[in-house]
Chain A
């Protein structure tokens, strides 16, 4: 399985990269290649030009700022996962990243690349949506910031324009005392999630859930916030009745039809189980601790 022929450029400045990308409608950005190369080897993707951005100035690095973590385009998954500041300030990210494929893939693949690939079962798009993060797109007309919920459009499709390069992803930090949890069910270790779920919340002065966010991957053509469930659970003490209601209200969000690896009814059942477990786990991590 060898790729079909393509042109190849390896620019060293972002301006050059954007110009080259704009020059060919069937060009593709090559960062880590862990999603693109398999598709090319299968000849499912046949870009006529590859713009390799690994040598572009200014695209490396992780910056931990006051309210967010900024991840530049060529940051490999593993760099973010093992970053001491990120592990300390945002353990949700490390917890989610341990599920992303396997270490050798995470050594080469990039976080931004995973976001741009937009597989609806992938973990990092889910985390971006859960946290309400953004990406920075840079194109011939300049830069723009795109909110996560506006970025992931449908199956393998984002709102990045063909002549734009996503240069950065921004993951908001959680407020002090927030609880968080992520888990997924897969067929094998490291596979894409059949259903993945993340939850963040804080607790108010009366011990009730506030700012509760719940997002899932694998159940639709993109990661989705479970807003009905959020509305049901916010302001409650997360009793099992509340969780049952939240789960019942979420099954409609499972729009992914039957697949060989998972039927829709199975996804609904798994989502229900995960809602119970993940919300409880997040609640157990709040400070002060939620009394349930």
Chain B
């Protein structure tokens, strides 16, 4: 194949940029972002936090779930500019600094609640958000399924994830 002369390539697109300031995993971030950049892309590519995954970009699969001001939300349905002034937590904030797994992550490992791992960060963030809410947990069959509804998994069939939620509650002393 004939080699072209190295093409002249601009650094970035010509999209207008807007300054945003937000907190991500406790760190203050100031960036100028394309006005239309999705929060999922901002986290993954601007900040290099690739633990948050993208599965659909229409808000159905839940792979992109992060915490926005303490509440689970779809980063693919949030513009980075909308996140200005917010506190974001991603999967990278969940384990300890030395890598020790959070009880929810530990429970997933014990219960074989992940296979390919693609949906897992979104699952964990969703469950974490619920556990951190000041409301009682419904750990019945229906209750746990309701908690997990909204996160698609194609590998596990969910049974082990349901077990992991209960095991996590046990590890965290929740009933």
CB-based contact B68/A189 at 8 Å: no
- A266 close to B (CB within 8 Å): no
Q: Are A108 and B18 in contact, CB atoms less than 8 angstroms apart?
A: no
Among A2, A5, A8, A82, contact of B38 (Cβ-Cβ < 8 Å): A2
Residues of A within 8 A of B18 (CB): 8
A-B contact count (CB 8 A): 90
- Known A3-B36, A189-B149: A37·B79 in contact at CB below 8 Å: yes
- Main secondary structure, interface of B, reads mixed
Question: In the assembly, what is the distance between CA of A273 and CA of B106, in Å?
Answer: 45
Give the segment of B42-50, B58-66, B96-104 that binds chain A. B58-66
Contact B81 A78 (CB under 8 A): no
In the bound complex, CA of A52 to CA of B16 (Å): 16
A37 and B18 CA atoms in complex are apart in Å by 18
Provide the bound-state CA to CA distance between A37 and B78, in Å.
Answer: 7
Partner of A2, one of B36, B74, B150: B36
Which residues 141-158 of B have a CB within 8 angstroms of A?
145-147, 149-150
Task: Digitize A144-167: 1 where CB-to-B-CB distance is under 8 Å, 0 elsewhere.
Answer: 000000000000000000000000
Q: Taking the nearest CB of chain B, how far is it from the CB of A175, in angstroms?
A: 30
Query: In this complex, which of B76, B77, B82, B150 has the most chain A Cβ atoms within 10 angstroms of its Cβ?
Result: B77
Query: Which residues of the partner chain A approach B76 to less than 8 Å between Cβ atoms?
Result: 37, 41
B24 CB within 8 Å of chain A = no
Answer whether residue A103 sits at the interface, using C-beta atoms and an 8 A cutoff: yes
Q: Which of B68, B72, B77, B145 contacts A37 (CB 8 A)?
A: B77
Taking the closest CB of chain A, its distance from the CB of B125, in whole angstroms, is 9
C-alpha spacing A185/B93, complex, angstroms: 39
- Give every chain B residue within 8 A of A103 (Cβ-Cβ): 72, 126, 130, 147, 150
A58 within 8 A of B: no
CB-defined contacts of B81 to chain A, threshold 8 Å: 8, 10, 52
- Answer whether residue B57 sits at the interface, using C-beta atoms and an 8 A cutoff: yes
Query: Does chain A have a CB within 8 A of B169?
Result: no
B126 / chain A contacts, CB cutoff of 8 Å: 103-104
A7 at the interface (CB under 8 A from B): yes
B35 at the interface (CB under 8 A from A): yes
Does A1 sit at the interface, judged by CB under 8 A? yes
Residue-by-residue, is B70-86 near A (CB-CB < 8 Å gives 1, otherwise 0)? Answer: 01111011110110100
Q: Give the residues in chain A near B150, CB-CB below 8 Å.
A: 101-105, 190
Q: Contact between B77 and A8 (Cβ–Cβ < 8 Å)?
A: no
Residue of B whose beta carbon sits closest to that of A76: B71
B82, B126, B135: most-surrounded residue (chain A CB, <10 A): B82
B132 at the interface (CB under 8 A from A): no
How far, in angstroms, from A188 to B129 measured CA to CA in the complex? 23
| B36 close to A108 (CB less than 8 A) | no
A190 to B147, CA, bound (A): 11
The docked-state distance in angstroms from the alpha carbon of A7 to that of B79 is 13
User: Chain A: which residue is nearest B149 at the CB level?
Assistant: A189
Please state if B74 and A104 are interface contacts (CB–CB under 8 Å).
Answer: yes
Q: Which of B72, B78, B130 has the most CB of A within 10 A?
A: B72
Q: Is the CB of B57 within 8 A of A41?
A: yes
Cβ-defined partner of A33 (8 Å) among B72, B78, B129: B78
Bits for A225-244, please: 1 = Cβ < 8 Å to B, else 0: 00000000000000000000
A38 partner, pick from B59, B62, B68, beta carbons under 8 A: B59
Residue numbers in B under 8 Å from A108 (CB-CB): 68, 71, 73-74, 77-78
Q: Which residue of A lies closest to B146 (CB)?
A: A189
Of all chain A residues, the one with the shortest Cβ separation from B130 is A103
Docked Cα-Cα span, A103 to B130, in Å, equals: 9
18 intermolecular pairs with C-beta atoms under 8 Å apart: A10-B81, A33-B78, A37-B59, A37-B76, A37-B77, A37-B79, A38-B58, A41-B76, A52-B82, A102-B150, A103-B126, A104-B62, A104-B65, A104-B129, A107-B68, A108-B74, A189-B146, A190-B149
- 13 further contact pairs, Cβ within 8 A, besides A30-B82, A78-B71, A103-B130: A1-B57, A5-B36, A37-B59, A37-B76, A38-B57, A54-B82, A102-B150, A103-B72, A103-B150, A105-B77, A108-B77, A188-B149, A190-B149
What is the interface of chain A, defined by CB distance below 8 A to chain B?
A: 1-8, 10, 30, 33-34, 37-38, 41-42, 50, 52, 54, 78, 82, 101-105, 107-108, 188-190
By Cβ-Cβ distance, the 4 closest A-B pairs, closest first, are A102-B150, A38-B58, A107-B71, A37-B77
